[in-house]
Amino acid sequence: INVITFFKLIPILVLVLLALPHLTPEGVLPSDLPSFDDMSGLVLLILYAFVGFEGALVTAGETKNPKKTIPRALICGVLVITAIYFSVAMTYANVVTNGGGDTPLVDMGEILMGPIGGVIIIITAIFSILGNATSIVIAAPRMTFAMAEEGTLPKWFGKVHEEYHTPANSIIFLGVLSFVLAISGTFIYLAIASTLARMIAYAICMLSLPNIRKKADAETLANATKLPGGYLIPGIAFVVCLFAISQSTIQSWQYMISFIALGGVLYFANKTTFKSN
């Protein structure tokens, strides 16, 4: 994963550095900013680039000193990603002045480095997709495996490979499902539906914090990471989640509900089988 991260970040950073001489005051601080209504409709799609950080918690049990390591990794990760996206967006707006096309970074690479620049960005995109897929393969099957262990999903998802000791059936199921969704050509809608589901989950988590804190034992409270300002940060996060949810469309809800229905079928089928046994 470190090698993949290196090969997908270095070309982007080089692209940003090459674009720095093209920065202009008008490009950095444009006078004709988009209206709030124009931006609000893109909130869920924009947030898709920043969600998924909670996946780091899946492997927290295998991390040394997770109380210090996990919060530091989450905060640093979000800050670095935000800085990279901001730098890319700012330099792109200054380099590609004609509005660009459907491949913004490729267009930017070709302007700064010629045809080879476009090829480099395409290869970088492949590494980026590979890195994202790798992280999903590591985290997602372990969630379905854990759900099978506690009886929420059928035991089939909890089968472990005899040689590699990995959740084999969960990996196969999610791999096939991901492939089908990938070739369906509905990435934009799936990304928005995925972000919508996460915003709902995040909002529920924020609301649950007081109750969790009330029921937590002394050891849990001692190991918890305390945020400055008490419930101020969770409160702001809750408001942001509600705003993002309010910007969703009927189509994104339809996609999300269809996946909930699939999960519901597996859940109730497992409960029925469990009772009959």
93 CB-side CA count, 13 A: 15
Q: What would the pLDDT profile of 188-242 be if each residue is shown by its tens digit?
A: 888 888 889 889 999 999 999 999 888 988 888 887 878 888 889 999 999 999 9
CA distances to 4, 52, 76, 226 from 8, rounded to whole Å, are: 6, 18, 18, 34
Could you state, in order of their start, the residue ranges of all structural domains in the chain? 1-182, 184-277
The answer to whether the Cα torsion of 191, 193, 195, 201 is positive or negative is negative
Q: Does residue 68 carry a pLDDT above 70?
A: yes
Q: What would the pLDDT profile of 17-35 be if each residue is shown by its tens digit?
A: 999 998 888 777 776 777 7
CATH 1.10.1740.10 at 1-182, yes or no: no
Cβ atoms of 82 and 53 closer than 8 Å = no
Please state which of the ranges 3-7, 91-95, 167-171 shows the lowest mean pLDDT.
3-7
**What is the maximum span of the chain, computed from C-alpha positions, in angstroms?**
71
Quote the CA–CA distance of 35 and 31 in Å, as a whole number. Answer: 12
pTM: 0.73
Cβ atoms of 136 and 178 closer than 8 Å = yes
The percent of residues above 70 in pLDDT, for the chain, comes to: 91
Question: At 99, is the secondary structure helix, strand, or coil?
Answer: coil
Average predicted confidence (pLDDT) for the chain: 83
